[in-house]
Amino acid sequence: MSEQIFSDPPRVELLQWLARGSLKQNLLRSIRLWACLQFLYGEQKIKEPFSFSNWRDAFFSATHPKGDSIPQLHDSGCACAKTTADWIFSGKSGVNEREWRQAIEQHDDIADAALNDLLQRQLFALTRRSLYKDLEILAELGWLERQGKSYCRVKNWPTRPLASSSQPSDGKPNTYDSELPNIDLATIVQNLREPIAGVKRFFLEVDYIIHQANQDRVDDWHEQLKRLWQQNPVPPIRITYNSARQGAAVKCIVYPVCLYYMQRAIYLCACGQTPNRQGEWYNYRLDRIQQMHSLEWKDEDIPQLLLKYYPQNLPHPDSIRERMEEVWGFDFYQEPQLMLLRFDRKFHDLYIEGTFRHDTFKICSFDRAKQLIRQNVPQPEQQQVLLTVLNSRSRLDAYYQVLYRDGDTNVRMRLRSWRPHGEVLLPWELRQGMTHEVEKEVQFYRNLLG
């Protein structure tokens, strides 16, 4: 067991390394990882090997909730009650607040108001799943060694930036780190972006379906949103949105939270009125926004569902990221459901095994698949049909369970791309929908041949 004491201050260079991508998007997680390293490699070391539960019980107070919901303020002495500022600017960290803030804001163009909001957040008031993910990241970074479902500290610490010399020579943050949050892709680009022996060997092609005629509009909305996000507080906006699902242009008053590139287009994640007036979150494809006007919070048109967040609890991009990590799907506001999938063994071994889909995308046994059907299909007739289907399939095939967002278009498109080698077994409604699609598709080709 290592006797080293972790005493690295939370400088920008170290936090950027812990972020493994965009520091602006992953700042809170980076600071949490740094705080965890202080605990794991501090003077009072946790007994090894330790599980997530062991770590949680040692890190938090005895009254800390053990469920999977975000803990409420229950004990001022619990680690989950401390704000980000408490962790960063304590006497032990040796950090000068003014210098640290200036370095963070300059590194990733973080507005002062946005940084103030992050610093006042309770850093460890998170779900069990998010905290568990932090330990997994430390293991991936080489700070922990897995032993089954438990962890041990390492004797040889990973190489990490210890001074500002790791910053690019021009003093500017790495463009790819700040723009590519996918950690693996960011690493690839970082390694291969420079010409080799004078020859460019790496090319990145990204599917982008926005027509050139609409690109100016997308750029305009992007610039307007950047200006709005620099204000304190960020104002709500009224947009006119050409909704494909509603088949009409609808007006919505929303609070703009962040932009995401996802599956071939850029989306505005916003809270407020939705095109169908159901729920209070929606992902608006940026090129489908026809008009955008900022409003004031005192405007009488602001709906109550937005006013309840103002001014203290306005949504933050971090909460969206956390919800997407909890369940598979970009439409993070849709209800989670359990999905059971079957893959042909050969197809699985060639294209599924060794790939990452989502944290909850886990392989399961044939018997476990049968158990999931019994537990999640209450209607006897439907349950019997699915059990009969399962019994007709090979035990040698690959079975997976995953939590997904019901109604998410991107998940549905992924399932279509796996046909005919992937089969949806659960939920019943999704399976029926896929069945109707396949039947309609077959008719197209039969008519052509007939």
pLDDT digit string, tens, across residues 383-418: 999 999 999 999 999 999 999 999 998 899 999 999
Stretch 201-210: mean pLDDT? 72
Do residues 33 and 154 both lie within one domain?
yes
Angle at 402 between CA 337 and CA 426, to 5 degrees: 60
**With contact defined as beta carbons under 8 Å apart, do 268 and 228 qualify?**
no
320 has pLDDT over 80: yes
CA distance 85 to 100: 11
Please answer whether residues 288 and 210 qualify as being in contact, where contact means their C-beta atoms are separated by less than 8 angstroms: no
Burial 43-67, CB ≥16 within 10 A → b, else e: eebbeebbebeebbeebbeeebeee
pLDDT at 432 over 90: yes
pLDDT at 445 over 90: no
pLDDT higher than 70, residue 182: no
pTM, whole model, 2 decimals? 0.60
What pLDDT is attached to residue 164?
Answer: 41
Q: Is the same domain home to 365 and 444?
A: yes
β-sheet bridge partners, residue 403:
338
Region 218-228: mean pLDDT is 88
Are residues 238 and 314 both part of a single domain?
yes
- 5 falls within a domain: no
Residue 192 and residue 123 share a domain: no
φ, ψ for residue 433, nearest 5 deg? -60, -40
Which of residues 285, 306, 326 is at a domain's end?
326
Question: How large is the average pLDDT for residues 299-321?
Answer: 89
Q: What is the mean pLDDT of residues 417-423?
A: 95
Contact partners, residue 229, CB within 8 Å, separation at least 6: 111, 114, 256
**Residue 2 counted as domain residue:** no
3: in domain? no
Residues in the chain: 450
| The pLDDT of residue 168 | 38
Q: In this structure, are 303 and 228 located in the same domain?
A: yes
Q: Does residue 151 or residue 7 have the better pLDDT?
A: 151
| In-domain check, residue 52 | yes
Report the mean per-residue pLDDT for the chain: 86
Query: Could you tell me if 181 and 26 are in contact, meaning their C-beta atoms sit under 8 angstroms apart?
Result: yes
| Residue 211: predicted pLDDT | 72
Residues 223 and 367 occupy one common structural domain: no
Average pLDDT rounded to a whole number, residues 4-27: 85
pLDDT band at 382 (very low <50, low <70, confident <90, very high): very high
The total number of structural domains in the chain stands at 4
Same domain, 345 and 299: no
Residue 7 lies in a domain: no
Q: Verify that 105 and 248 share a domain, yes or no.
A: no
253: domain range? 212-326
Q: Say yes or no to pLDDT of 162 above 90.
A: no
Instruction: Express as a percent the part of the chain with pLDDT over 90.
Output: 49
367 is a domain residue? yes
The answer to whether residues 234 and 255 belong to one domain is yes
Residue pLDDT, tens place only, 82-137: 999 999 987 666 788 888 988 888 777 777 888 888 899 999 988 888 898 899 99
Residues 193 and 259 in one domain: no
Answer yes or no: do 88 and 125 share one domain. Answer: yes
For the segment 184-210, the average pLDDT, to the nearest whole number, is 68
The answer on pLDDT for 260 being more than 70 is yes
Does residue 331 fall inside a structural domain? Answer: no
Q: In this structure, is residue 426 part of a structural domain?
A: yes
Same domain (yes/no): 419, 436: yes
Identify the pLDDT of residue 44. Answer: 75
